[in-house]
Structure 1
């Protein structure tokens, strides 16, 4: 039989052993995003594995209950794409639905606490529909389907720091006259704002003029795809829920997508 002294020593040893950190994997993030898409198609948020102790649902910058959310209505999804941020353990999913009387273009960030991709701690959605800024889901779908979002070669992937600077620089153009010139624009860059198409991206840019910085910024940065998505509130023009996504290839901006919830009329 083990002596009392030895038992105490063993208990002390095991209690002092650190718990191994769990890695946040790209595969886990994408799998969770796929479960979100499946729940949206079915209109059944109850199928999601949500954190029992710490879950938040936010839609258009307002905390809400998931039972009353967009997820509670089934939608046929015509297009979707997901980027993954293994550092912040988050993903960004774009999906477009053109069917029915209420089409949508949606950007959703999904976050996981403690690198645990088996459970979702936050679903953060910006959802634009008829009446929002430059909204036309069919036109948006047509533009975006033509884009190439293949993973970049490891040798040509932009750094996380560059991607964040590009995302911030874009949102700062409305308040900082020098921000537009800080962005490495590609000569064949394409910009899709709602359904409004501009090529090249660096044409007709704002250069300050507003005193209100675009706030509530939440980032998903994916070096593999060379992308950054920033959900925010577009305070420089109005308190509008907004998603700005930028892709960088060969060190230059290739694509810009915006989803802006602004009711008109």
Structure 2
């Protein structure tokens, strides 16, 4: 297998094709979990020209974390039949080297054309794999009845409002009550329901969260946004690799998971 690693303007060359079946995407995420557990990328339906990014760095797929066997304690996925894309969050707290791995897969004609992973471990922003595993397992991301599902536009707008509010306090974010945020290993959902909140303070400075890449799954109200987060990493003021994994119920945000990769321990803070 030849892995062609090309980038255009910092984005992935490979793009998803037209709509595809949920069954195919579910089979692919199951295969991804098996492949990561075994450390065998060949278990995936890869296109010959698949591209691979790990923490926004292009590399040979055979040299990335996907080529390392990882003990997976828990996983949760989104399946986007409109974009023909998936998102999977893997919790690997009991692995010899603990990780939280967030991965987007893009497909064309049933083959994976692009893989993009955030691989968080010790030293990344408030990383604590054991806490992350404990809290994520307790959350309920059940399928939402068809008549109660939000549209793609509503789900994406909720996530965009959340990110926009970080530097603009006038942006109204549809936070639910309760709303729980899992940031690294830090959780806000351990209080009484009325006190649980995801509201963020307004960060200093005038910056925008850019390079937003979405995966949306209406069946579970799920949204994943890969992005570049300025401000947080003192050594990378223009932005560091970050991800927001959000569940929306009835137009309101119920859960948020955040992963932020740091160039220096705890992003220099």
Task: Give the shorter-chain TM-score range.
Answer: 0.7 to 0.9
Could you tell me how far apart the structure 1 residues matched to 2:198 and 2:100 are?
24
- Out of 178, 203, 209, the position equivalent to 1:188 is 178
Could you tell me how far apart the structure 1 residues matched to 2:18 and 2:94 are?
40
Higher strand share: 2
Higher helix share: 1
- Out of 198, 217, 221, the position equivalent to 2:188 is 198
Please state how far the C-alpha of 1:209 moved relative to its aligned partner.
2.7
Could you tell me how far apart the structure 1 residues matched to 2:122 and 2:19 are?
40
Structure 2: give runs of 5+ residues left out of the alignment: 1-16, 190-195, 234-238
Contact 1:214–1:236 (CA<8 Å) still a contact in 2?
A: no
Q: Which residue of 1 aligns with 2:98?
A: 103
Contact 2:72–2:95 (CA<8 Å) still a contact in 1?
A: no
TM-score by length of 2: 0.84
Please state how far the C-alpha of 1:24 moved relative to its aligned partner.
0.2
Please state how far the C-alpha of 1:23 moved relative to its aligned partner.
4.6
Could you tell me how far apart the structure 2 residues matched to 1:189 and 1:157 are?
18
Supply the RMSD in Å over aligned alpha carbons: 1.6
Q: Which residue of 2 aligns with 1:63?
A: 58
Contact 1:226–1:248 (CA<8 Å) still a contact in 2?
A: yes
Q: Which residue of 2 aligns with 1:260?
A: 260
- Out of 115, 125, 134, the position equivalent to 1:142 is 134
1:1-265 to 2 correspondence within 5 Å?
23-52=19-48, 54-113=49-108, 116=109, 118-179=110-171, 182-199=172-189, 200-203=196-199, 205-238=200-233, 239-262=239-262, 263-264=264-265
Could you tell me how far apart the structure 2 residues matched to 1:64 and 1:247 are?
31
Contact 1:134–1:193 (CA<8 Å) still a contact in 2?
A: yes
- Helix, strand or coil: the match of 2:158? helix
Q: Residue deviations 1:106-146, cap 9 Å, x none?
A: 11010012xx2x31001111110011111110111110101
Could you tell me how far apart the structure 2 residues matched to 1:212 and 1:61 are?
20
- Helix, strand or coil: the match of 1:76? coil
Could you tell me how far apart the structure 2 residues matched to 1:70 and 1:22 are?
29
Structure 1: give runs of 5+ residues left out of the alignment: 1-20
Aligned length: 238
Based on CA coordinates, which of the two structures has the bigger radius of gyration?
1
TM-score by length of 1: 0.85
Please state how far the C-alpha of 1:36 moved relative to its aligned partner.
1.2
Contact 2:19–2:84 (CA<8 Å) still a contact in 1?
A: no
- Helix, strand or coil: the match of 2:94? coil
Q: Residue deviations 1:73-109, cap 9 Å, x none?
A: 1011000011111111100001111124410011101
Moved over 6 A (4+): none
Please state how far the C-alpha of 1:223 moved relative to its aligned partner.
0.6
Contact 2:106–2:113 (CA<8 Å) still a contact in 1?
A: yes
